[in-house]
Structure 1
Amino acid sequence: MFSLKDKTAVITGGGSGIGKAISLLFAKQGATVHIIELNEESAAQTVAEINTYGTAFSYACDVSQQQQVLAVFQKIKKIDILVNNAGIAHIGKAHTTEETDFDSVYQVNVKGAYNCLYAALPLMQANGGGAILNTASIASLVGISDRFAYSMSKGAIFSMSMSVARDYIGDHIRCNSISPARIHTPFVDGFIAKNYPDNQEEIFDKLSKSQPIGRMGKPEEVAALALYLCSDEAGFITGCDYPIDGGFIKLNN
């Protein structure tokens, strides 16, 4: 089950964290993986790891720049799966979020996903169909403190996913989104070290316990959900969002 043999998968932000876990698993399941990543070094490391057992390529690309994105997809040509995972975070309320920060989050998280959809959808139509998975967040579904711009961007991802699912169902293109809660990635460790250098263990414990299940998620757990939704076994699923949140949305009162 869940074989991706003979499929071509494009994964943005595939050099680290959730994107890396998805890239590794998809390659293990037989897909040829194309990683679009701003950080060339991390992408190269992931590709080197995959190439010990599978096939992967990387492309240095800023997803907020449409011409760069189009150039990459023109090189790939055939695409069965697109995972829009690249994104950045920001801390701030509406009145403390500077315009430059708001624009930066929008450019990467929202326009970046749009640029990849714009480039990938015609290729999928020509290929007779495909599967798209967009990384949203619990912040697209519930209020999260001090995440105004980030929540805006993930709400857009949720809505874009539903729109694409509706518009391209006749082209045999499925589109879904996933909404993770806190996932333990190098980004989280770096965030804590930068903002809470004097009480890192305390903050890590606090963030872990904000999920009712009592811990953060693992990138590999998100990758397993992504694999299912992008596999042929999920062929009857489109226009859905899947929280993977340790009970955060439903069990936090």
Structure 2
Amino acid sequence: MPLHIAFDDLDALRARCDIATVRTATAEPAYEQGAVIPSGPWRPLPEGAGRALAPPPSTPPSTLVEIVRPPLPAEGRLDDLARPLGDGQAQYLGQALARPGMLTTTDNYQDGRLIGLHLDNWDRLTYRGKSAGRRRLALNLGPGTRYIILATLDAQAVCRAVHFDDYARRSPHTDDYRAHVAAGHPVQVIRIRLAPGEGYIAPTEYLLHDGSTEDQEASAIAFWLGHWQSGKLPSLI
């Protein structure tokens, strides 16, 4: 199942989205060898591409992307923010600070190199369960605007393409996307702008993704993981 974004206003979606393809990072000291990164240039999201992101009625909430404004809890206790959303087991992951002008933001804590666009693996899901993982709630704490970048091709589709003979026994991984892109297969990505105070709920175990502060100031972001039904927070689009 590809990328699906909940929206009511196509113009509002397109106003905060750009589209590009990706490439493999080679001999770039800041990145892991083989990392998948946006290739640019970013282009305005065409109307047809925007319409294609609309979720069919059968789309499970676990695969849906929502652009939201999470309400801050009393006394600014960020660890309590997700409690009213319906998952008593939701997990607060903490905060991450991104420097200004970063094409992608996530690094490998062991050596500091950027890993590029990637899949999360908090839930250790196999192929059949990959679309049912927890979604990530994120809140841009500012001071700068930032982006979430999402691939339009989902992890199960890439796993089938790369491991066509035994994909059902696999656990989809970032390396599958790296192999897919290195083999010359095109992957499109959508960049969604998030001002301070805005956020998203996204299946980051299921969709290739990363944050970005390209052409923006530094910003911090807070994260939670949980199983949430769609529409728990008002949509910004």
TM-score w.r.t. structure 2 length?
A: 0.25
TM-score w.r.t. structure 1 length?
A: 0.24
Bigger fraction of residues in strand: 2
